[in-house]
Amino acid sequence: MKSKSVLVPLIISLFLWPIAFAIAISMGGPNAATTLTSKVLFSATVLFEIVALFQIAQARKLFSRSDHGYLTWTLILIFLVIRLVAEARLTTMNFEMVPQYTDGSPAWLFFYRIVLRYIYTISDLLFVGALVTTIRSYKSTGLKFELLKQDYFYMLLLWTMPVITFIYRDNLFAAAAGNDQYIPTYRLVAVTIGAIIASLCLVVRRYALQMGGGAVARVWNTVFLAGIARDASFLALALMSGWSRAGAQFTEQYLLWIFTCCWLMAALYQREVLPRSKTTGEYAAFTAG
Protein backbone atom coordinates (compact mmCIF):
# COMPACT_ATOMS: atom_id res chain seq x y z
CA MET A 1 0.00 0.00 0.00
CA LYS A 2 1.46 3.33 -1.13
CA SER A 3 0.59 6.74 0.29
CA LYS A 4 -0.08 8.26 -3.15
CA SER A 5 -2.66 5.61 -4.00
CA VAL A 6 -4.49 6.11 -0.69
CA LEU A 7 -4.39 9.90 -0.33
CA VAL A 8 -6.74 10.80 -3.19
CA PRO A 9 -9.58 8.41 -2.12
CA LEU A 10 -9.30 9.69 1.44
CA ILE A 11 -9.56 13.30 0.27
CA ILE A 12 -12.61 12.40 -1.84
CA SER A 13 -14.20 10.79 1.22
CA LEU A 14 -13.94 14.10 3.07
CA PHE A 15 -16.45 15.50 0.58
CA LEU A 16 -18.64 12.41 0.25
CA TRP A 17 -19.46 12.02 3.95
CA PRO A 18 -20.99 15.52 4.36
CA ILE A 19 -22.97 14.97 1.15
CA ALA A 20 -24.27 11.65 2.51
CA PHE A 21 -25.22 13.35 5.77
CA ALA A 22 -27.08 16.13 3.94
CA ILE A 23 -29.01 13.57 1.90
CA ALA A 24 -29.82 11.49 4.99
CA ILE A 25 -31.11 14.38 7.07
CA SER A 26 -33.09 15.92 4.17
CA MET A 27 -34.77 12.66 3.18
CA GLY A 28 -34.99 10.77 6.47
CA GLY A 29 -34.66 13.44 9.13
CA PRO A 30 -32.50 13.35 12.27
CA ASN A 31 -33.05 9.62 12.85
CA ALA A 32 -31.65 8.70 9.44
CA ALA A 33 -28.73 11.08 9.95
CA THR A 34 -27.99 9.55 13.35
CA THR A 35 -28.04 6.05 11.83
CA LEU A 36 -25.59 7.17 9.16
CA THR A 37 -23.27 8.58 11.82
CA SER A 38 -23.47 5.93 14.53
CA LYS A 39 -23.51 2.89 12.27
CA VAL A 40 -22.15 3.61 8.78
CA LEU A 41 -19.54 6.32 9.39
CA PHE A 42 -18.54 4.82 12.73
CA SER A 43 -18.07 1.37 11.20
CA ALA A 44 -16.00 2.80 8.36
CA THR A 45 -13.84 4.65 10.91
CA VAL A 46 -13.21 1.48 12.92
CA LEU A 47 -12.38 -0.46 9.75
CA PHE A 48 -9.80 2.15 8.75
CA GLU A 49 -8.39 2.17 12.28
CA ILE A 50 -7.71 -1.54 11.85
CA VAL A 51 -6.00 -0.86 8.52
CA ALA A 52 -3.96 1.94 10.14
CA LEU A 53 -3.01 -0.41 12.99
CA PHE A 54 -1.68 -2.96 10.52
CA GLN A 55 0.36 -0.30 8.71
CA ILE A 56 1.77 1.01 12.00
CA ALA A 57 2.78 -2.53 12.94
CA GLN A 58 4.62 -2.80 9.62
CA ALA A 59 6.33 0.57 10.17
CA ARG A 60 7.45 -0.52 13.63
CA LYS A 61 9.15 -3.61 12.18
CA LEU A 62 11.48 -1.39 10.15
CA PHE A 63 13.18 -0.15 13.32
CA SER A 64 15.80 -2.15 15.16
CA ARG A 65 15.09 -2.66 18.85
CA SER A 66 17.98 -0.35 19.74
CA ASP A 67 16.45 2.60 17.87
CA HIS A 68 14.48 5.22 19.79
CA GLY A 69 11.84 5.03 17.07
CA TYR A 70 11.10 1.41 17.95
CA LEU A 71 9.83 2.41 21.39
CA THR A 72 7.90 5.35 19.98
CA TRP A 73 6.05 3.28 17.42
CA THR A 74 5.54 0.43 19.90
CA LEU A 75 3.70 2.85 22.20
CA ILE A 76 1.71 4.17 19.23
CA LEU A 77 0.83 0.60 18.28
CA ILE A 78 -0.41 -0.18 21.80
CA PHE A 79 -2.27 3.15 21.83
CA LEU A 80 -4.28 2.07 18.77
CA VAL A 81 -4.79 -1.49 20.03
CA ILE A 82 -6.32 -0.23 23.27
CA ARG A 83 -8.33 2.33 21.32
CA LEU A 84 -9.78 -0.47 19.19
CA VAL A 85 -10.76 -2.32 22.36
CA ALA A 86 -12.69 0.81 23.35
CA GLU A 87 -14.20 0.96 19.87
CA ALA A 88 -15.41 -2.64 20.25
CA ARG A 89 -17.27 -1.58 23.38
CA LEU A 90 -18.74 1.42 21.58
CA THR A 91 -19.83 -0.84 18.71
CA THR A 92 -22.04 -2.84 21.06
CA MET A 93 -23.73 0.40 22.14
CA ASN A 94 -24.10 1.95 18.70
CA PHE A 95 -25.72 -1.24 17.43
CA GLU A 96 -27.93 -1.43 20.55
CA MET A 97 -26.53 -4.71 21.86
CA VAL A 98 -26.66 -3.40 25.44
CA PRO A 99 -29.41 -1.31 27.06
CA GLN A 100 -29.16 2.39 27.84
CA TYR A 101 -27.97 3.36 31.30
CA THR A 102 -30.51 4.99 33.59
CA ASP A 103 -30.66 5.61 37.32
CA GLY A 104 -31.25 2.30 39.04
CA SER A 105 -29.67 0.22 36.26
CA PRO A 106 -27.56 -2.80 37.29
CA ALA A 107 -24.01 -2.18 38.47
CA TRP A 108 -22.54 -4.08 35.50
CA LEU A 109 -24.25 -1.69 33.10
CA PHE A 110 -22.83 1.32 34.94
CA PHE A 111 -19.37 -0.23 34.74
CA TYR A 112 -19.74 -1.13 31.07
CA ARG A 113 -21.24 2.10 29.77
CA ILE A 114 -19.74 4.67 32.16
CA VAL A 115 -16.49 3.38 33.64
CA LEU A 116 -15.11 1.56 30.60
CA ARG A 117 -15.27 4.69 28.45
CA TYR A 118 -12.03 5.67 30.19
CA ILE A 119 -10.26 2.98 28.16
CA TYR A 120 -9.88 5.80 25.65
CA THR A 121 -8.09 7.82 28.34
CA ILE A 122 -5.64 4.98 28.97
CA SER A 123 -4.85 4.81 25.25
CA ASP A 124 -4.36 8.59 25.13
CA LEU A 125 -1.83 8.43 27.96
CA LEU A 126 0.17 5.89 25.96
CA PHE A 127 0.19 8.30 23.05
CA VAL A 128 1.48 11.00 25.39
CA GLY A 129 4.26 8.60 26.36
CA ALA A 130 5.12 8.00 22.70
CA LEU A 131 5.40 11.74 22.06
CA VAL A 132 7.53 12.33 25.16
CA THR A 133 9.81 9.50 24.05
CA THR A 134 10.16 11.07 20.61
CA ILE A 135 11.02 14.47 22.06
CA ARG A 136 13.67 12.89 24.30
CA SER A 137 15.14 11.01 21.33
CA TYR A 138 15.53 14.24 19.39
CA LYS A 139 17.21 15.94 22.33
CA SER A 140 19.53 12.98 22.82
CA THR A 141 21.18 13.77 19.48
CA GLY A 142 22.90 16.75 21.13
CA LEU A 143 21.50 19.16 18.57
CA LYS A 144 19.91 22.41 19.66
CA PHE A 145 16.14 22.34 19.29
CA GLU A 146 13.86 25.20 20.25
CA LEU A 147 10.27 26.26 19.78
CA LEU A 148 9.49 29.44 17.88
CA LYS A 149 7.16 32.21 18.96
CA GLN A 150 4.45 31.04 16.58
CA ASP A 151 4.54 27.60 18.18
CA TYR A 152 3.58 29.08 21.53
CA PHE A 153 0.81 31.01 19.80
CA TYR A 154 -0.48 27.79 18.21
CA MET A 155 -0.41 26.10 21.61
CA LEU A 156 -2.47 28.95 23.02
CA LEU A 157 -5.03 28.37 20.29
CA LEU A 158 -5.05 24.64 21.02
CA TRP A 159 -5.82 25.26 24.68
CA THR A 160 -8.86 27.32 23.79
CA MET A 161 -10.55 24.02 22.87
CA PRO A 162 -10.80 22.62 26.41
CA VAL A 163 -11.67 26.09 27.72
CA ILE A 164 -14.55 26.55 25.28
CA THR A 165 -15.69 22.97 25.84
CA PHE A 166 -15.84 23.68 29.58
CA ILE A 167 -17.88 26.84 28.97
CA TYR A 168 -20.40 24.89 26.86
CA ARG A 169 -20.26 21.74 28.97
CA ASP A 170 -24.03 21.78 29.60
CA ASN A 171 -24.57 21.07 25.90
CA LEU A 172 -22.82 17.74 26.35
CA PHE A 173 -25.90 16.44 28.17
CA ALA A 174 -27.92 16.99 24.99
CA ALA A 175 -25.51 14.81 23.02
CA ALA A 176 -25.58 11.94 25.51
CA ALA A 177 -27.81 8.93 25.00
CA GLY A 178 -30.15 8.15 27.87
CA ASN A 179 -29.71 9.65 31.33
CA ASP A 180 -25.91 9.92 31.30
CA GLN A 181 -24.99 12.59 33.82
CA TYR A 182 -21.35 11.47 33.78
CA ILE A 183 -20.59 12.27 30.14
CA PRO A 184 -19.47 15.91 30.63
CA THR A 185 -16.71 14.84 33.05
CA TYR A 186 -15.37 12.30 30.58
CA ARG A 187 -15.53 14.74 27.67
CA LEU A 188 -13.69 17.42 29.64
CA VAL A 189 -10.97 14.95 30.65
CA ALA A 190 -10.65 13.77 27.05
CA VAL A 191 -10.46 17.25 25.52
CA THR A 192 -7.83 18.29 28.08
CA ILE A 193 -5.61 15.29 27.37
CA GLY A 194 -6.25 15.93 23.69
CA ALA A 195 -4.85 19.45 24.06
CA ILE A 196 -1.76 18.00 25.75
CA ILE A 197 -1.34 15.55 22.88
CA ALA A 198 -1.76 18.22 20.22
CA SER A 199 0.74 20.47 22.02
CA LEU A 200 3.32 17.69 22.18
CA CYS A 201 2.69 16.89 18.51
CA LEU A 202 3.45 20.53 17.78
CA VAL A 203 6.79 20.22 19.60
CA VAL A 204 7.73 17.06 17.69
CA ARG A 205 6.71 18.70 14.42
CA ARG A 206 8.94 21.71 15.12
CA TYR A 207 11.90 19.50 16.04
CA ALA A 208 11.44 17.45 12.86
CA LEU A 209 11.43 20.64 10.81
CA GLN A 210 14.61 21.82 12.51
CA MET A 211 16.18 18.44 11.80
CA GLY A 212 15.79 19.25 8.13
CA GLY A 213 12.10 18.73 7.45
CA GLY A 214 11.38 16.58 4.44
CA ALA A 215 9.69 13.20 4.70
CA VAL A 216 10.14 12.82 8.46
CA ALA A 217 8.44 16.16 9.08
CA ARG A 218 5.60 15.04 6.82
CA VAL A 219 4.99 12.08 9.13
CA TRP A 220 4.69 14.30 12.19
CA ASN A 221 2.70 16.98 10.38
CA THR A 222 0.13 14.28 9.69
CA VAL A 223 0.18 13.05 13.30
CA PHE A 224 -0.29 16.67 14.40
CA LEU A 225 -3.38 16.96 12.19
CA ALA A 226 -4.71 13.74 13.73
CA GLY A 227 -4.30 15.18 17.22
CA ILE A 228 -6.08 18.41 16.29
CA ALA A 229 -8.95 16.56 14.62
CA ARG A 230 -9.62 14.36 17.64
CA ASP A 231 -9.48 17.23 20.12
CA ALA A 232 -11.72 19.35 17.89
CA SER A 233 -14.30 16.54 17.89
CA PHE A 234 -15.01 17.17 21.58
CA LEU A 235 -15.24 20.91 21.00
CA ALA A 236 -17.65 20.43 18.08
CA LEU A 237 -19.90 18.27 20.21
CA ALA A 238 -20.03 20.90 22.95
CA LEU A 239 -20.68 23.79 20.56
CA MET A 240 -23.24 22.14 18.29
CA SER A 241 -25.28 19.85 20.57
CA GLY A 242 -27.40 22.75 21.80
CA TRP A 243 -29.01 23.32 18.41
CA SER A 244 -28.54 20.07 16.46
CA ARG A 245 -27.79 16.78 18.13
CA ALA A 246 -27.61 14.94 14.79
CA GLY A 247 -25.31 17.58 13.33
CA ALA A 248 -23.08 17.55 16.41
CA GLN A 249 -22.76 13.78 16.40
CA PHE A 250 -21.96 13.73 12.70
CA THR A 251 -19.31 16.44 13.06
CA GLU A 252 -17.73 14.59 15.96
CA GLN A 253 -17.55 11.31 14.02
CA TYR A 254 -16.44 13.11 10.85
CA LEU A 255 -13.49 14.60 12.72
CA LEU A 256 -12.67 11.15 14.09
CA TRP A 257 -12.72 9.91 10.50
CA ILE A 258 -10.11 12.56 9.69
CA PHE A 259 -8.16 11.44 12.78
CA THR A 260 -8.11 7.85 11.50
CA CYS A 261 -7.21 8.84 7.94
CA CYS A 262 -4.31 10.91 9.23
CA TRP A 263 -2.97 7.97 11.23
CA LEU A 264 -3.17 5.74 8.18
CA MET A 265 -1.27 8.28 6.10
CA ALA A 266 1.31 8.84 8.86
CA ALA A 267 2.02 5.11 9.01
CA LEU A 268 2.38 4.91 5.23
CA TYR A 269 4.68 7.94 5.18
CA GLN A 270 6.80 6.38 7.93
CA ARG A 271 7.09 3.12 6.01
CA GLU A 272 8.25 5.01 2.94
CA VAL A 273 10.75 7.29 4.64
CA LEU A 274 12.55 4.78 6.85
CA PRO A 275 14.20 2.57 4.20
CA ARG A 276 15.26 5.69 2.30
CA SER A 277 16.76 7.16 5.49
CA LYS A 278 18.71 3.99 6.17
CA THR A 279 20.17 3.83 2.69
CA THR A 280 21.26 7.46 2.76
CA GLY A 281 22.68 7.30 6.27
CA GLU A 282 20.22 9.75 7.82
CA TYR A 283 20.42 7.96 11.16
CA ALA A 284 19.19 10.79 13.34
CA ALA A 285 16.16 11.44 11.18
CA PHE A 286 14.80 7.94 11.09
CA THR A 287 15.61 7.06 14.68
CA ALA A 288 13.78 10.14 15.91
CA GLY A 289 10.95 9.78 13.41
CATH numeric code, 3-288: 1.20.1070
Residue 178 has pLDDT above 70, yes or no: no
What residue spans of 68-213 are helical by DSSP H? 68-94, 107-113, 119-139, 149-158, 160-167, 171-175, 183-210
Q: Would you say 270 and 278 are in contact if contact means Cβ atoms under 8 Å apart?
A: no
Q: What is the pLDDT of residues 197-230, one digit of tens each?
A: 999 999 999 999 998 778 888 999 999 999 999 9
pLDDT band at 267, cuts 50/70/90? very high
Spans of all domains in the chain: 3-288
pTM of the model: 0.92
Contact 80, 263 (CB under 8 A): yes
What is the overall mean pLDDT for the chain? 90
> What is the rounded average pLDDT of the residues 237-245?
90
Q: Residue 283 pLDDT > 70, yes or no?
A: no
Secondary element (H or E) of residue 6: helix 3-35
